[in-house]
């Protein structure tokens, strides 16, 4: 095997249809980076979901004197409050119940909106309802049972499941992820067609050489290797660009999500490396296999 001969052939091939090669590199880069972004999204959603599922709670808001809810007739009484507490505590699905008084709730409220003091100043302490924060054993399955047990009970204003709030957020993330993955798949199809076309053009450009090679008895492997490597090298260039883009996506986009959360949802460098390595495998396989199949059609013995 004369390796420098093979590399010379690859170089000639890549240079001769430079425009196709550039198009191929760009499409591979974009499709791989979108695919990678999709994978990062999946990881991101998983990491936040796992965290939340352990934290999620049902808030049972109690009536206050100012409650606009017609079910409330004045503030919750001590007996009612005790009754609700007992009901919740007795349920097997409930892991823990804690009482948040109006004072505590108002303090939390002030803290949450600390960057908007004018808003805080319009709300009085007695407008923030006290609540029971109920921690469930299995939030996804047990929410309805627990919620219906206390909804409409005397003294209960409303029952709010944090899951429903989070669900919106998840829908958003899932939708974004699906969109990204679908676009990535379409682009991968485009990339496959482009690889096939590039290799076909390259084979056509060098049909004289390959014809002579066949004639003088060069092995199929020797004839096809430069074309195959041409595809794979273009794929690797595309992957290198995609890796850069993915690092950008993580550091500019996903890391920004962190600022909306008080706990750590950031992806680790290992996650990123995993996605990049996966993208490389996809890129190399995609280009290699497509080149190989194209060559079987256009460079027959």
Partner 1 sequence: MINFDNVTKIYPNQNRAALENVDLTVNKGEFVFLVGPSGSGKSTFLRLILKEERPTDGQIHVAGKDLARLTNWKVPHLRRRIGCVFQDFRLLPNKNVYQNVAFALEVIGKPRRFIRRVVPEVIDLVGLEGKHDRMPDELSGGEQQRVAMARAFVNRPMILLADEPTGNIDPATSIGIMKVLDRINRTGTTVVMATHDAAIVDSMRKRVIELEYGKVVRDQVRGVYGQAY
CA distance 195 to 293: 11
Count, residues near partner 1 per rule CB under 8 A: 18
Which residue, 35 or 223, is less far from partner 1 as judged by CB? 223
CA distance 131 to 109: 13
At its nearest, how many Å lie between partner 1 and the CB of residue 211? 7
CA 198 to chain centre: 32
Burial class (CB in 10 A: 0-12, 13-18, 19+), 34: buried
CA angle, 20 then 22 then 26, to 5°: 115
By CB under 8 A, tell whether 293 contacts partner 1.
no
By CB under 8 A, tell whether 252 contacts partner 1.
no
- Footprint of partner 1 on 169-208 (CB under 8 A): 208
* Residues 6 or more apart in contact with residue 153 via CB below 8 angstroms: 80, 83, 84, 87
At its nearest, how many Å lie between partner 1 and the CB of residue 29? 31
What would the DSSP string read from start to end of 188-233? HHHHHHHHHHHHHHHHHHTHHHHHHHHHTT--HHHHHHHHHHHHHH
Which residue, 1 or 270, is less far from partner 1 as judged by CB? 1
At its nearest, how many Å lie between partner 1 and the CB of residue 221? 8
Distances (CA, A) of 215 to 46, 135, 223: 58, 78, 11
By CB under 8 A, tell whether 213 contacts partner 1.
yes
By CB under 8 A, tell whether 5 contacts partner 1.
yes
Which residue, 213 or 284, is less far from partner 1 as judged by CB? 213
Which residue, 8 or 148, is less far from partner 1 as judged by CB? 8
Which residue, 18 or 216, is less far from partner 1 as judged by CB? 216
Which residue, 71 or 225, is less far from partner 1 as judged by CB? 225
By CB under 8 A, tell whether 223 contacts partner 1.
yes
At its nearest, how many Å lie between partner 1 and the CB of residue 9? 9
By CB under 8 A, tell whether 70 contacts partner 1.
no
Only one of the segments 120-128, 136-144, 188-196, 217-225 lies at the binding site for partner 1 (rule: CB under 8 A); that segment is 217-225
Which residue, 151 or 219, is less far from partner 1 as judged by CB? 219
By CB under 8 A, tell whether 220 contacts partner 1.
yes
Burial class (CB in 10 A: 0-12, 13-18, 19+), 227: buried
By CB under 8 A, tell whether 275 contacts partner 1.
no
At its nearest, how many Å lie between partner 1 and the CB of residue 3? 10
Which residue, 16 or 89, is less far from partner 1 as judged by CB? 16
The phi, psi pair for 140, rounded to 5°, reads: -65, -40
CA distance 90 to 96: 10
Which ranges constitute the DSSP H helices of the chain?
3-16, 18-55, 78-90, 102-112, 117-121, 139-150, 162-205, 207-215, 220-248, 255-257, 269-298
At its nearest, how many Å lie between partner 1 and the CB of residue 2? 6
By the 8 A CB rule, do 247 and 207 touch?
Answer: no
By CB under 8 A, tell whether 219 contacts partner 1.
yes
By CB under 8 A, tell whether 218 contacts partner 1.
yes
Interface with partner 1 (CB under 8 A): 1-2, 5, 208-209, 211-220, 222-223, 301
């Amino acid at each position: 095997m004369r390796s420098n001969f093979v590399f010379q052939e690859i170089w000639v091939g890549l240079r001769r249809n430079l425009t196709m090669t550039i198009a191929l590199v760009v499409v591979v880069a974009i499709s791989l980076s979108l695919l990678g972004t999709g994978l990062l999204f999946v990881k991101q959603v998983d990491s936040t979901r796992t965290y939340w599922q352990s934290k999620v709670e049902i808030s049972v808001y109690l009536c206050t004197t100012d409650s606009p809810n017609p079910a409330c007739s004045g503030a919750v009484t001590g007996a009612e409050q005790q009754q609700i507490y007992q009901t919740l505590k007795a349920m097997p699905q409930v892991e823990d119940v804690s009482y948040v008084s109006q004072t505590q709730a108002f303090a939390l409220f002030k803290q949450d909106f600390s960057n908007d003091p004018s808003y805080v100043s319009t709300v009085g302490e007695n407008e923030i309802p006290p609540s029971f924060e109920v921690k469930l054993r299995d939030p996804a399955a047990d929410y309805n049972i627990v919620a219906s047990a206390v909804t409409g009970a005397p003294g209960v204003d409303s029952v709010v499941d944090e899951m429903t709030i989070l669900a919106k957020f998840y829908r958003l993330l899932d939708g974004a992820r699906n969109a990204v993955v679908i676009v990535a798949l379409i682009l991968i199809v485009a990339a496959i067609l482009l690889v096939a076309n590039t290799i076909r053009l390259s084979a056509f450009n060098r049909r004289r050489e390959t014809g002579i090679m066949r004639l003088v008895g060069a092995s199929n492997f020797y004839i096809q290797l430069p074309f195959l490597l041409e595809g794979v090298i273009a794929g690797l260039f595309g992957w290198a660009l995609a890796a850069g883009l993915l690092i950008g996506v993580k550091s500019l986009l996903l890391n920004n999500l962190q600022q909306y959360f008080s706990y750590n949802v950031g992806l680790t460098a290992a996650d990123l490396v995993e996605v990049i390595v996966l993208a490389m495998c996809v890129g190399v396989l995609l280009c290699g296999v497509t080149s190989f199949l194209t060559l079987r059609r256009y460079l027959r013995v």
